[in-house]
Amino acid sequence: MIKLAELITKPYDGYNPHAEVMSEIQKACSRKIYFDIDFDDIQINDVYNEIIANDLVNIDCCNFLQTRGGFHLLIELAKIDKKFEKNMVQSYHFYPGC
């Protein structure tokens, strides 16, 4: 509600109310179960092999979900080994296609 109130008090700049609400819902959850990374125009096997080769995160916490334009890598936060917790997000932040 706060985001919508902010948007309607400013000049319209092409925002999509539905998209804004969905985005706010994602941000507002009280407990995250998965860390979701969206990959476009890249193969699942390439990312899977990169995770294994560079020891980015333990593979048993990774779930791959195929989409129309690529896939989502869902990392189950409760299953991440302690040694990966601090650097996990930075490892994927600048990955091509992410």
Contact between 37 and 3 (Cβ < 8 Å): no
Which pLDDT score, from 0 to 100, does residue 98 have?
45
- Per-residue pLDDT at 16 exceeds 60: yes
Which pLDDT score, from 0 to 100, does residue 29 have?
63
pLDDT interval class at 72 (50, 70, 90):
very high
Average pLDDT over residues 14-42: 81
- Segments of 16-95 assigned E as strands: 34-40, 62-66, 70-76
**Average pLDDT, rounded, for the chain:** 82
Structure tokens belonging to residue 85: 């917790």
Q: Where are the domains of the chain?
A: 1-30, 31-98
Q: Can you give the pTM of this predicted structure?
A: 0.61
Q: What is the dihedral of CA 28, 30, 33, 38, to 10 degrees?
A: 10
